[in-house]
Structure 1
Amino acid sequence: MAPESGSNKREAFSAALRRYPQYELAIRRLMAQSEAFCDMCEELAEAELALSKVDRVASAVREARRAEWQDLIDRLVAEVGTALLDKDIVVKPRAGR
């Protein structure tokens, strides 16, 4: 594992947690079980970072890039949420056991 990989995972976890703090346990479990979920969260973290730096882009394309990054973030947040809701059915504490 590359040294950067652990940092990427932390950033990915943080990106998902900022959006869905009530699902911390589900996020942790999904990140441990699903490479696809990890990738989605990493993409979210990268898109958030890119959006935070959009003011450095040439003014002629800045607003277009801002809109593109925001659209990507919105789509990734929705995908993460869908994954968490699907997984939440599995990770809810079982009553009566």
Structure 2
Amino acid sequence: MGLQSDDPGGNGLRAAARRFPALGSEIGALLARDENFRGLCDDLAAAEEALAAAEQLPEYLRTARRREYEELIKDLAEEIAEALERANIFPISRSPKY
């Protein structure tokens, strides 16, 4: 579902930053070094665009599509939150015990 653009990470960065506004710099740093994270953010942006486009569908399709995209967005946001948490975990090196 990832979208390609002339601004790599641009749409994904904006989508993730809307969900996690206090973590903008962490999101940008992780986007720069983690292709999988970049894909999650791009998928989030694409799902948000699809949700907005669902408003143009006939009523008999709109409700079901809206629910599907809302659930997908929720799942992607959770995955992004988990990736951000993992990225902030630094292993503590312990001194060897003699």
TM-score, normalising length from structure 1?
0.82
Cα offset for 1:32?
A: 0.7
Matched residue pairs, number? 87
**Structure (1 or 2) with the greater helix fraction:** 1
Distance in 2 (CA, whole Å) between partners of 1:67 and 1:74 is 10
Q: Distance in 1 between matches of 2:54 and 2:47?
A: 10
Question: What amino acid maps onto 2:60 in structure 1?
Answer: A
Q: Secondary structure at the match of 2:61?
A: helix
Partner of residue 71, structure 1: 71
Structure 1 or 2, whichever has the larger Rg, is 2
Q: Write the mapping of 1:71-90 to structure 2, written as runs, cut at 5 A.
A: 71-90=71-90
Identity within the alignment, %: 34
Task: Report the equivalent of 1:13.
Answer: 13
Task: Say whether residues 1:37 and 2:37 are aligned partners.
Answer: yes
d(CA) in 2 for partners of 1:51, 1:87: 29
CA deviations on 1:3-41 (whole Å, 9 max, x unpaired) are x53335211100001111111121111111111100100
Could you tell me how far apart the structure 2 residues matched to 1:54 and 1:83 are? Answer: 28
Counterpart AA for 2:34:
S
RMSD of aligned Cα (Å): 1.4
Which consecutive residues of structure 1, in runs of 5 or more, have no partner in the other structure? 91-97
